[in-house]
A and B are shown apart, each in its own frame.
Chain A
Amino acid sequence: MNFALGLLSESGNVISRLQGYETAAEQVADKDYWSSVGIISLTGILVVFLILAILIFFFWLLGMLFKTIDKKRAAKKAAAVEAKPVAPAAVAVTAEAEEEFDDEEEIVAVISAAVAAFAEADGTSYRIRSIEKRGDSRSRSAWNLAGINGNMQKF
């Protein structure tokens, strides 16, 4: 199933005739030269697109398949968790809230330590008034950026 050759089957004879000439000048002089050059370029880029489009379709399909498998697995897990006897919902909520609070305190401590270390000067003290998350939800944190930059150095 040589598709590329199939597309060119009509002009195939012309191209082999052109190839038969010894020099480029003779090739150019042939009346079918420019049409063959056009056909080669056009089919060339089309075949490249076609093959990669087939690959896109294949891997898109595969991706969908894996997404559904993952969802099913996640659903199964969720079902299993639900089936277990759990503590009353109200308790869970407070526990979660507490955890969040703990988390925040920790973050505040880390940030203030970082600020102090960075802007170290004798005899000054700092008070942190507010800590805000940067608006753009897609952007990475400074630590993340620094990490990625570090990893990219080697390239």
Chain B
Amino acid sequence: MEIFTSTFKGLIDTSGFMGLGITNIIMLLLSFVLFYLAIVKQYEPLLMLPIAFGMMLTNLPLTGLYHPELWNPATNPYYAPEYIEQGANILVNFTKETSLDYGRVLHEGGLLDMLYLGVKLQIYPPLIFLGIGSMTDFGPLIANPKSFLLGAAAQGGIFFTFLGACVLNLTGIAPFTLKEAASIAIIGGADGPTAIYLTSKLAPQLLGSIAVAAYSYMALVPVIQPPIMKLLTTKNERMVKMGQLREVSKIEKVVFPIAVTIIVSLIVPSAAPLVGILMFGNLMKESGVCDRLVKTAQNELMNIITIFLGITVGATAVADNFLSFKTLFIIALGLIAFCIGTACGVLLGKLMYIISGKKINPLIGSAGVSAVPMAARVSQKVGQKDNPSNFLLMHAMGPNVAGVIGSAVAAGVLLSVLG
């Protein structure tokens, strides 16, 4: 009987209930909210569901799937003063800057720690870009290179929000460092992989909240954008029909990814991992000689990486990082970034409408925030409401894919300055 009770007591002591705190419970409830958004509301479910599940797993106590302390250099025991006195630091031979101890991660890490290596080492986001590149048709952009301008204008949201986050520091409630401000601002690029890429480098402690905000707002593009688009344009502007795009030859489509990679990588080398791999995927597609590779990049590889990326990004949302005023600010600033990005795109579209002699419909400007192809569809729908025979989809695809390149370049610029 004694054996029985002691075994039972041991079982209770090692059960999760003993470690369950109030913060864990709040985080579990939050993950349920994300489940609701993913399953019922279908907000980017392919990413939101893994993120929600990762969040749930990581907040169940004692599971040992993910160890935030392994990823925080400050908690590395080798940096404890007594170890340094004993010369351990010389053995480990890390500088404080690069002090993440990967050996320790491999020795002590759980499943999600291992998978998180792909985020931390910036492997997953470029691989997702490989898939995106192999699915994207840059034809509309090549046919109308002016679309690049709209793709650039919509990145205005990123830099305005960067300013905004810094101004918020004046309130003193949740001060953001420059790196954190840049990571929050990149939500305005409306590009999940880019946001994760930049945040994992600059402010990994905010990864969970930034990813959740970015993907939620991307799902909400059809709700957020139309009111701004309507506010900034007149009915006449929205009714403009654009001339048919010219046919783009195969040679141009093959030259495009090569030229973009070379030009962008020479000017902002830190954007090369994203833009280069994006263009690699596109070249595989447009060359027409790598069909098997293209199929893998579009389907299996992309799906596998999406699962890994989603569940590990969710796992970083531990209570200590997530339950703070910062998360609320991130959600608010992310929305502002999205709105300003949309507005910048539409306003430049308006300018181009005037300069071109009413040939360009300003609605395609809003598609300059990435969110492919959702943002282009929004342009199409808003345009069709005022003029049912108007088809802006292909015209909007130009700024839309330019936005992907634009936000990757913006991320590269922020990295080279702050990284």
Contact = CB atoms under 8 A, between A and B. Distances in A.
A111 interface: no
A53 B249 CA distance: 22
A37 interface: yes
Contact of B402 (A28, A37, A52, A66): A52
Nearest to A18: B178
Given A4-B268, A5-B416, A140-B391, A37 B163 contact: yes
A14 B169 CA distance: 19
Interface in B133-166: 141-143, 145-146, 148-149, 151-153, 155-156, 158-160, 162-163, 166
A1 B266 CA distance: 6
Contact of B259 (A5, A45, A58, A63): A58
A13 B246 CA distance: 48
Interface in A7-39: 8, 15, 18-19, 21, 23-25, 27-28, 33-34, 36-38
B268 A44 contact: no
Contacts of B201: none
B405 interface: yes
B377 A155 contact: yes
Contact of A55 (B177, B249, B260): B260
Of A15, A52, A56, which is in contact with the most chain B CB atoms at under 10 Å from its CB? A52
A127 B96 CA distance: 88
Nearest to B415: A4
A19 B178 contact: yes
A59 B79 CA distance: 53
Contacts of B352: none
A51 interface: yes
Contact of B251 (A24, A40, A66): A66
Contacts, number: 160
Contacts of B260: 55
B269 interface: yes
B257 to A, nearest CB: 12
B393 interface: yes
B177 A23 contact: yes
B353 interface: no
A56 B149 contact: yes
Contact of B416 (A4, A41, A63): A4
B413 interface: yes
B145 A63 contact: yes
Contacts of B169: 24-25, 27-28
A152 B417 CA distance: 41
Contact of B178 (A5, A37, A38): A37
B160 A41 contact: yes
B350 interface: no
Contact of A19 (B162, B179, B251, B259): B179
B166 A48 contact: no
Contacts of A58: 259, 263
Interface residues of B, number: 62
A66 B247 CA distance: 11
Contact of B162 (A41, A59, A66): A41
B243 interface: yes
Contacts of B163: 37-38, 41
Contacts of B113: none
Nearest to A148: B391
A33 to B, nearest CB: 8
Contact of B252 (A37, A47, A52, A66): A66
A136 interface: yes
A54 interface: yes
A8 to B, nearest CB: 6
A143 interface: no
A112 interface: no
Contacts of A24: 169, 175-177, 180
Nearest to A1: B266
A54 B149 CA distance: 10
Interface in A50-96: 50-56, 58-60, 62-63, 66
Contacts of A138: 241, 243
Of B175, B243, B256, B409, which is in contact with the most chain A CB atoms at under 10 Å from its CB? B409
A63 B418 contact: no
Contact of B267 (A34, A51, A62): A51
Contacts of B269: 2
Contacts of A115: none
Nearest to B169: A28
- Give the 6 A-B residue pairs with the shortest CB-CB distance, closest first: A24-B175, A52-B148, A41-B159, A59-B145, A52-B152, A139-B389
22 contacts: A4-B416, A5-B416, A40-B162, A42-B159, A44-B414, A47-B413, A48-B152, A48-B406, A48-B410, A49-B153, A52-B406, A55-B259, A60-B145, A62-B252, A63-B145, A63-B246, A63-B252, A139-B241, A139-B389, A140-B391, A152-B380, A152-B393
Interface of A: 1-5, 8, 15, 18-19, 21, 23-25, 27-28, 33-34, 36-38, 40-45, 47-56, 58-60, 62-63, 66, 136, 138-140, 145, 148, 152, 155
Given A4-B416, A44-B162, A62-B259, 16 more contacts: A2-B269, A8-B417, A23-B175, A24-B169, A40-B417, A47-B267, A49-B153, A51-B263, A51-B264, A53-B152, A55-B263, A59-B145, A59-B148, A60-B145, A136-B389, A148-B391
